[in-house]
Amino acid sequence: MKRLLSVILCLICAVAAMGQTKETYPFVERDSTLFLDVHRPALPRADKAAVVSVFGGGFVVGTRDDKLMQKTAELLTERGFTVICIDYRLGLKDKAKVKENSGLLKLDKLFQYCIDIAVEDCSAAIAWICDHQADLDIDTSKIVLTGCSAGAITVLDMDYCRANGLAQASALPKGWKPAAVIPYAGGVMCRKCELKYNTPPAPTMLMHGTEDKIVAYKSFGLPFHPKLHGSNNVAKAMKKQGIPHWIVRFKGIGHEVASWLPGSVDLFCGFVEQALSGRVTNLDATMTDSKLQPTEWTKMGLKDIYKIPSN
């Protein structure tokens, strides 16, 4: 009997996997058309929850259909989510701009520009999704935002801009709020000296390595200037304001956390279920995972990645 049930379960899983579909739509015109991919599950959740997933690549490279995005879509559609992977403009794709802005002050401004346009594009994608919710068969009050590296910065910063009424997120539908935000090695570009939320952010689970030199675990930037605050500082700001959140810290680990979503699907879904049910919880945890092995690129710093001159 157990063997028969196992065979039936395997067949159901196989049919579900075969039934997954992908559709591509344009959502906004910039210098060129930006697109999004809609991955539909074979067995949708009853609550019609969806995940918007944003790729990483340092605002230099990356695509909405790279291997990590495809794996993310595969794993989450298996859990019944509609998964939407989006384009956004890559502000550092022109490497000449990096060389021209190699001083730290100029580089600060360039990073702010990259993040701002990525947030604008992500906001435009959400607006398009909300306009087409009936066709997509999703509940737009139950959209979870996730991303890795530059994508993690984008989703975390977009919710910060939304909560503070900043222009970068002005394309978002009035009153819309994500059901949850789950960034893997992300941060917030704070345009003022103090990182503060004027209205509550969405339920947020932060993931970050304490030795991350690509997206700073604490902060990157000059004193008294806009700076990028990593997960450690975002968690501090949330704690100071009494905002519930989760932070999962990986001691001694670098930027490899950015690609950890496939290894953390159960944790991801557990947090989403709590957020969707309205439960309010706090967590500050230290995590280890033998699958998080450093690679040559995850050990790099910003100077190595962007080829910034030392002088």
pLDDT at 146 > cutoff 60: yes
Residues in a beta bridge with 254: none
Which pLDDT score, from 0 to 100, does residue 181 have? 98
- Range of 67-81, 94-108, 192-206 with top mean pLDDT: 67-81
Which pLDDT score, from 0 to 100, does residue 151 have? 98
Which pLDDT score, from 0 to 100, does residue 222 have? 65
pLDDT tens for 296-309 read 767 776 666 666 55
Measure the CA–CA gap between 115 and 29, rounded to whole angstroms: 18
Rg (Cα) of the chain, in Å, rounded? 19
The pLDDT of 248-270, averaged and rounded, is 96
Instruction: List helix spans (H) across the chain.
Output: 2-19, 67-78, 95-100, 104-131, 133-136, 150-163, 231-240, 265-277, 302-306
Rounded alpha-carbon distances, angstroms, from residue 247 to 14, 179, 238, 239: 35, 17, 11, 11
The pLDDT of 36-62, averaged and rounded, is 97
The pLDDT of 25-42, averaged and rounded, is 97
Domains of the chain, earliest start first: 19-306 (3.40.50.1820)
Measure the CA–CA gap between 259 and 270, rounded to whole angstroms: 19
Nearest-CA neighbor of 16 among 40, 37, 49? 40
Residues in a beta bridge with 36: 25, 86
120 and 154 Cβ atoms separated by less than 8 Å: no
226 burial via Cβ count (<10 Å: 0-12, 13-18, 19+): middle
At what angle are helices 104-131 and 150-163 packed, to 10 degrees? 70
Q: What is the pTM of this model?
A: 0.90
63 and 74 Cβ atoms separated by less than 8 Å: no
Measure the CA–CA gap between 244 and 263, rounded to whole angstroms: 24
pLDDT tens for 213-258 read 999 999 987 666 778 999 999 999 999 999 999 999 999 999 999 9
The order of strands in the sheet holding 21-29 is 21-29, 33-40, 82-86, 50-54, 143-148, 180-184, 205-209, 246-250, 283-286
